[in-house]
């Protein structure tokens, strides 16, 4: 394994003029230290992706790039959201480097975890997830909703790493795998585990935002959570089908019960047929919607054109 990997840090930035100077300083220090320790190549870089910022973010990035070639910049034509900005950055640098680490511009994720990620890469991991082991700096609300969300996602069959956001190392191989996913509803932390390969985890404590405000207000957060759920799993449709089937079974029990009541004469006219039809029709309708939904779910998954497989190695003769 190449012990001199070229590392590119990919940092999506949206209106981050307040934190960018400090972020640039700290990341540069990190890269320099790592390359002095000969853990990474001196050709390693820091890439800021400007996601259509309305403030001076891009001017700052341009200035850093001019002052020092360690800084690079990717400017998106308009604001496309964190996930798209991140993907844009990763795909732009994919062919120039051996490994990438994606992280937020506010440095909430402890950059000292990068050392561990790189080490895991040398030990054979193609993807290394940064996992938060404490959420002390998060508000109670954020902590409970976020952790609850991870649990619901797991329950609904989406394979995501608990308490991992978008702080991760990906090797070039992993990025080439990611490139084959053509989905436009992008929820990276759900797609990355689908790539496969050997993966590892590095734990760190999440800090507070250094400066500026969160670019993820509640509305954006909810939209993002919904996006993740609906883009990864069609299990809710299966739940509707199951619910319909259950109600239909209940309707048959109701029919038997109503018939008994009817035959023992304990009902008024019309009650038996009313009861039965309400349950049976309701159940049948739900069941039918569920079945139609199953097909729509299939069409939905097909339309994503996900790769059917990714070849890890091909042993063959050279001729």
Binding stretches for ligand UDP (CB under 6 A): 12-14, 16, 51, 79, 81-82, 85, 104-106, 108, 214-216
18 contributes a contact to Mg ion by CB under 5 A: no
15 contributes a contact to Mg ion by CB under 5 A: no
Three-state DSSP at 130 gives strand
Note the Cα 126 to chain centre separation in Å: 17
Partner interacting with residue 168 (select from ligand UDP, Mg ion, none; CB below 5-8 Å by kind): none
What tokens appear for 193 in the block? Answer: 């585990």
Residues 97-136 that bind Mg ion (CB under 5 A): 104, 106, 108
Comparison of 106 and 201: residue with beta carbon closer to Mg ion: 106
Comparison of 207 and 262: residue with beta carbon closer to ligand UDP: 207
Contact 157, 236 (CB under 8 A): no
How far is it, in rounded angstroms, from Cα 126 to Cα 179? 15
Comparison of 13 and 117: residue with beta carbon closer to ligand UDP: 13
Rounded to a whole number of angstroms, the minimum distance from the CB of residue 14 to ligand UDP is 3
Residue 205: C-alpha distances to residues 29, 148, 318 (Å): 20, 19, 48
Rounded to a whole number of angstroms, the minimum distance from the CB of residue 142 to ligand UDP is 8
Contact 34, 117 (CB under 8 A): no
Rounded to a whole number of angstroms, the minimum distance from the CB of residue 260 to ligand UDP is 58
> How many residues bind Mg ion, per CB under 5 A?
3
Comparison of 51 and 104: residue with beta carbon closer to Mg ion: 104
How far is it, in rounded angstroms, from Cα 223 to Cα 114? 30
Comparison of 187 and 248: residue with beta carbon closer to Mg ion: 187
In degrees and rounded to multiples of 5, residue 289 shows phi and psi of -60, -40
Could you tell me whether strands 45-50 and 71-75 are parallel, antiparallel, or unpaired per DSSP bridges?
parallel
How far is it, in rounded angstroms, from Cα 134 to Cα 198? 25
Rounded to a whole number of angstroms, the minimum distance from the CB of residue 167 to ligand UDP is 10
Contact positions toward Mg ion, by CB under 5 A? 104, 106, 108
């Amino acid at each position: 394994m190449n012990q001199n990997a070229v590392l590119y840090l990919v940092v999506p930035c949206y209106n981050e003029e307040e934190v960018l100077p400090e972020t640039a300083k700290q990341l540069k220090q990190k890269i320099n230290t790592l390359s002095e320790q000969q853990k990474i190549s001196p050709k390693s870089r820091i890439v800021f992706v400007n996601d259509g910022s309305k403030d001076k973010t891009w001017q700052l990035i341009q200035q850093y790039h001019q002052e020092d070639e360690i800084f690079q910049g990717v400017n998106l034509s308009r604001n496309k959201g964190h996930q798209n900005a991140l993907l844009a950055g990763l795909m732009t640098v994919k062919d120039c480097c051996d490994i990438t680490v994606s992280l937020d511009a506010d440095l909430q994720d402890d950059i000292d975890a990068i050392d561990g990620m790189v080490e895991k890469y040398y030990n054979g991991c193609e993807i290394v997830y940064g996992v938060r082991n404490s959420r002390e700096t998060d508000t109670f609300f954020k902590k409970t909703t976020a952790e609850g969300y991870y649990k619901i996602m797991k329950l609904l069959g989406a394979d995501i790493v608990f308490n991992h956001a978008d702080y991760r190392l990906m090797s070039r191989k992993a990025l080439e795998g990611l490139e084959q996913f053509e989905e436009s509803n992008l929820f990276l932390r759900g797609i990355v585990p689908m790539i496969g390969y050997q993966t590892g985890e590095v734990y760190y404590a999440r800090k507070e935002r250094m400066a500026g405000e969160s670019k993820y207000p509640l509305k954006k957060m909810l939209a993002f959570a919904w996006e993740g759920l609906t883009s990864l799993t069609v299990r809710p449709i299966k739940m509707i089908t199951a619910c319909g089937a259950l109600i239909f079974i209940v309707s048959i029990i109701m029919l038997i019960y109503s018939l008994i009541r009817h035959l023992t004469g304990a009902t008024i006219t019309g009650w038996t047929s009313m009861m039965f039809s309400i349950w049976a029709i309701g159940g049948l309708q739900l069941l039918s919607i569920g079945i139609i939904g199953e097909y729509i779910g299939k069409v939905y998954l097909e339309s994503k054109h996900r790769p059917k497989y990714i070849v890890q190695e091909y042993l063959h003769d050279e001729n």
